[in-house]
Amino acid sequence: MAKKAAPKKPATQKKTAMAKSATEPGIKYVKKDAPGRGEVEILAETYDNGLPSGEDAGRWRQKLESREDKLKYLQNGERYWYSDDWFGSEKRKTPA
């Protein structure tokens, strides 16, 4: 019978991954108090330094390409106005 491989220790694996990440430029960690665990090291803010440039940086509507996607988004994201299945809280008391 083949000897079963010993499972990797998650703690060690985590520590290794963390140590690797900590050396990456731009990745920051901060120490915070956690309830019952004392001081722990957690990932700090992950945003890029600097300022976003160009008027396209914040555009999100272009993610929806086809007309079908756009209609689906309206029926989901703007469901209270454009979906037959969602009525919003107000219609519970006053049926349409």
Partner 1 sequence: MAEDEKKNKSIDKATQELYEKACADEISTSYSRADSLKPCPIGSVGSCCKNCGMGPCRIPLPKGKEETPEEKKKRRGICGATAETIAARNFIRMIAGGAAAHSDHGRGVAELFVAVAKGEAPGYKIRDEQKLLALALEWGIDIGDRSNEEIALEIGEMSLAEFGKQEGEILFAKRAPLKRQEIWREQGVMPRGIDREIVEIMHRTHIGVDQEYQNLLTQGVRASIADGWGGSMIATELQDILFGTPSPVLSEVNLGILKEDEVNIIIHGHEPLLSEMIVAASRDPEMIDLAKSKGAKGINLGGICCTANEILMRHGVPLAGTFLQQELALVTGAVDAMVVDVQCIMESLPDIAQCYHTQVITTSPKAKIKGAMHIEFNEHDAVNGAKAVVKAAIEAFPNRGKNVRIPQDTHNLIAGFSHETINYLLGGLFRASYRPLNENIINGRIRGVAGVVGCNNARWEHNQAHIAMVKELIKNDVLVIQTGCSAMASAMAGLMVPEAASKYAGKGLAEVCETVGIPPVLHMGSCVDNSRILIAATAMVKDGGLGDDISDLPAAGAAPEWMSEKAISIGQYFVASGVYTVFGVTWPTQGSKEVTEYLFKDMEEKYGGMWDFEPDPIQAAHKMIAHIDEKRKALGIDKARERVLYDMEMRRELEG
- Count of residues in contact with partner 1, rule CB under 8 A: 31
Q: Is the dihedral of CA 33, 34, 36, 37 positive or negative?
A: negative
Q: Are 42 and 29 in contact (CB under 8 A)?
A: yes
Instruction: Write phi, then psi, for 72 (nearest 5 degrees).
Output: -65, -40
- Asked if 80 is part of the footprint of partner 1 (rule: CB under 8 A), the reply reads yes
Q: Which residue type is seen at 88? A: G
- Report which of 55, 51, 49 is spatially closest to residue 25, judged by C-alpha positions: 49
- Asked if 34 is part of the footprint of partner 1 (rule: CB under 8 A), the reply reads no
- The separation between the first and the last C-alpha atoms of the chain, rounded to the nearest angstrom, is 70
In the complex, minimum distance from the CB of residue 18 to partner 1, in angstroms, rounded to a whole number? 24
- Asked if 31 is part of the footprint of partner 1 (rule: CB under 8 A), the reply reads no
**Binder of partner 1 out of 12, 23, 49, 89 (CB under 8 A):** 89
In the complex, minimum distance from the CB of residue 46 to partner 1, in angstroms, rounded to a whole number? 11
Contacting residues toward partner 1, per CB under 8 A: 47, 51-55, 57-61, 63-64, 67, 70-71, 73-74, 76-78, 80-82, 88-91, 93-94, 96
